[in-house]
Amino acid sequence: MSPRVLPAVPGAVPILVWARSLPPGAEQQLRHLASQPYVVEHVAAMPDVHVANGVAVGSVFATAHHVVPGALGGDLGCGVSAYRFDYPAASLGRDTLELLLTLLAQAIPVGDATHRGRGLPLPAALEAPPLSTQKLSHVWERLAPRHLGTLGGGNHFVELDRDAGGDLWLLLHSGSRGVGAAIGEHHQRVAVALGEGSLPGLDLHTQEGAACLADLDLACRFARANRDTLATRALDVVSRTLGIEVDPRSTVDLHHNHVARETHFGRELWVHRKGAVGLEAGQPGLIPGSMGTASYVVEGRAEPRAFRSCSHGAGRVLTRREARARIRPSALAHALRRVVHDAGRAESLVEEAPAAYRDLVEVLEDEADLVTPVRRLTPIAVLKG
């Protein structure tokens, strides 16, 4: 699908939309973003675009020398990982899948749970990183060891899937947890006080802008370390229980809330992605569906008009509040009848029901010039945050 172009209004850049339908609230947020004085070229809206706090999820834009902390989502560095086993997933009966889910829940704190006491040892490079304020350093010292290797809540998950060839996969989705939230909130306050635009951006030529960028990088590094730790624990459960080893060549890991220095349209720019993934041509990526629908391993097509980006998932069509009001636990149970999950949490899990999300097949059709689907992954067991 070629993008629709929303004509630019005076003082704003154009908006390129890859979604077949654009929620009115999301359009309003995209237009607000396009009107900011630091945005260059255009704004790109991914097929899973939907309303969120401040900036729509699925927004991609670039600046010449500004960083915009309020345009990167509340979970800095949030992303997904995928791992393949050369093992027939169809041989796993429901009893084995339920055992695996129980063991995963014992190995990984989910929801608001964290590690007790001093927590886990941090990687050497993250033990005492040079954060921009003493308060953030104290937050890091207190939270990072306890949040490392924890899943969090909402749409975060650890999932077992099978591909079309029958192989078993492990998927996970998490981010920077409380550490990233504290960093994002601090720099958003600074931006509100000192930044430019009605969606405040910090000039990278200033001390405040440089400090923001450095701290955001640390949040993304922690998010990756968190997913690596989650993966180590989850892969150990699968390996010990089934007596198998992961195929290291299959590993995929990608951020979808971040800012990166990249070359576009002949110049160096700072590309901001909120709920979007950057993929080079041929680079493997993972686009997850909902907890009851398929995910896809994809390859990037490096579409320049999208800043070499693609969707990060299916995209919500119902807010969490709307999902709780409209989706009955019995409807969720029916939708997940073939997926092992914690049925005792049905009332809270309706927020993540398949009906709360777009059809991922339609999303992939809308971004046919952004990615090429390579492998379809069907969920067989899901641990939600």
Encode pLDDT of 273-292 as tens digits: 999 999 999 999 999 998 88
Per-residue model confidence (pLDDT) at position 42: 97
Report the distance separating Cα 37 and Cα 71, nearest Å: 14
224 falls in which pLDDT band (50, 70, 90)? very high
Strands (DSSP E) along the chain, which ranges?
4-6, 15-17, 39-50, 57-63, 66-67, 79-88, 157-163, 167-174, 202-203, 246-255, 257-264, 267-274, 276-278, 284-287, 295-300, 309-311, 371-384
Residue written as token pair 């097929």: 47
Encode pLDDT of 136-195 as tens digits: 999 999 999 999 999 999 899 999 999 999 999 999 999 999 999 999 999 999 999 999
The reported pLDDT for the residue numbered 62 is 98
The number of domains in the chain is 1
pLDDT at 338: 92
pLDDT at 346: 80
Confidence of residue 24 (pLDDT cuts 50, 70, 90): confident
- Which pLDDT value is given to residue 66? 98
From first CA to last CA, the distance across the chain in angstroms is 34
For residue 236, being part of any structural domain is answered with: yes
Percent of the chain with pLDDT over 90: 87
Flag whether 268 is in a domain. yes
Residue 97 resides in a domain: yes
Q: How confident is the model at residue 133 (pLDDT cuts 50, 70, 90)?
A: very high
Per the annotation, the verdict on 66 as an active-site residue is no
| 43 belongs to a structural domain | yes
Q: Which residue has the higher pLDDT, 169 or 318?
A: 169
Round to whole Å and give the CA distance between 170 and 183: 30
d(CA 364, CA 48): 9
Residue 304 lies in a domain: yes
Q: Looking at the domain assignment, is residue 214 inside a domain?
A: yes
> What residue type is 224 in one-letter code?
R
Q: How confident is the model at residue 347 (pLDDT cuts 50, 70, 90)?
A: confident
Please write the tens of the pLDDT for every residue from 87-122: 999 999 999 999 999 999 999 999 999 999 999 999
> pLDDT averaged over the chain?
96
Quick count: other Cβ atoms within 10 Å of Cβ 261? 10
Residue from 173, 186, 256, 312 carrying the catalytic annotation:
312
Task: Give dist(CA 230, CA 174) in Å, integer.
Answer: 9
71 occurs within a structural domain: yes
The Cα-based distances of 268 to 307, 317, 370 in angstroms read 12, 35, 21
Domain assignment present for residue 195? The answer is yes
Is 1 a residue whose pLDDT tops 80? no
pLDDT (0 to 100) of residue 72: 97
Residue with tokens 């195929």: 247
- Sheet strands (E) in 64-149: 66-67, 79-88
CATH assignment at residue 24: 3.90.1860.10
CA distance 112 to 359: 29
Q: Which domain holds residue 16?
A: 4-317+357-384
Assign 363 a pLDDT band (cuts: 50, 70, 90): very high
